[in-house]
Structure 1
Amino acid sequence: MNNKLNLSSCVIVLLLLISFQEVIAQRTIGRPLLIDERDNERNAACATQAQNSFIFIASLSPGDALPSGNEFIFELSDPDGSFDTGQNRELGRIDRPNNGTTTTQEIRIEGIALPTDVNSDFYRVRVRTTEAGIQSQPSDDIAMHYFDTRLRVILNNRNDVFVCNSTTINETITVTMRDDMGNAVDPNQFDWIWFRDGALITGASGPSLQVTTEGTYRASIPFGLCQPFYTANGSAGNSNNVDVILLDQDAVTVSTPSPDFSYCPEETKVLISSEQDSDFSYQWYKDGEPIAGAIAPTITLPLNNFQGEYYVEVQFGNEGCTLQSTPPTIVTNEGSSITQELPENLIILPNEIITLEVLTDAPDGSPFRWRVNTNVQEQGIVSGPSLTYVIDDGIVGEYRVEIDANDPCDSRLFSETEIFAPVNFDITIGTTGENLCSEDTVQLELLEMQGRTNTGFLVPLTPEQLNFFDFEWYRDGVPLGETSLSLTVDRSDSGGNYQLRANFRGPEFGETISNNLPISFVADDIELTVTPESLPEDGSPVTITAPFDSNYTYEWYIIVDGEEQLIAGENENTLQTNQEGTYFVRISSLICTADSLPVTVGIPSGPSEIIPNVISFNGQAFRNWTLPQSMLSDGTVEVIIYDSRGREDLRTTNYQNNWPTENSRTGGKDAVYYYIITKNSTVLRKGSITVMR
Structure 2
Amino acid sequence: MSVFSKYGVLLVSFLVWFSSQFVSAQILNKPEAADNPNLPGNSAWTAACASENFNEYFVNFTWTPPPVNPENEFILELSDANGDFSNPTTLTTVDDQNNVFDFDFSFALPETTRGDGYRFRVRSTSPELTSPVSDPYPMYYIGYRDPILISKDRNGEIPSGGQIQVCNGESLALGTHNVDNPENYEYNWYNNGALLSERSSLIEITDPGLYYVEIDYGASCSGSANTLSNTVEVIFVDALNVSISASTSTNICNGETVDLVASVDDPNLFYTWYQDGQAVTARILGLSTYTVDSSTAGFDGQYYVEVQGNNPCIEQSNNVEITDAGTFDVTNDQELNLVLLPGQTRTLSVSSTATNPTYQWYKDGVALTGETNQSLEVTEAGDYYVTMTQGGACSNSQVDSETYVVVTPDSFELLIEYATSYAPCANADVTLNLLQINALFSAQSPIDVTNDLINDFSYQWTLDGNIIVGETSSSLMIVGNTNNGDYELTATLGSFTPISNTLSVELTDNSSFSISSDGTALCFNQTLTVTSDQTLANEVFEWTQNGVPINNTDESITVSEPGIYQLVVESNSCPSISNTIEITPFDDSGVTIDVEEEFLLVEGTSVIVTAEGAETYEWYDESNNLISSEATASISLAGTYLLIASLDNCSVTRTFTAIYRDEFEVPNVITVNGDGINDLWLLPNIYSGNPNVKVTIFDAAGNQIFQQVNYQNNWPESNTQFTKQNMIFYYNIKESGTTVKQGTITVIK
TM-score by length of structure 2 reads: 0.28
Q: Which has the higher contact order (CA 8 A, sep 6+)?
A: 1
Q: Greater Rg, structure 1 or structure 2? A: 2
State the TM-score, normalizing by the size of structure 1. 0.30
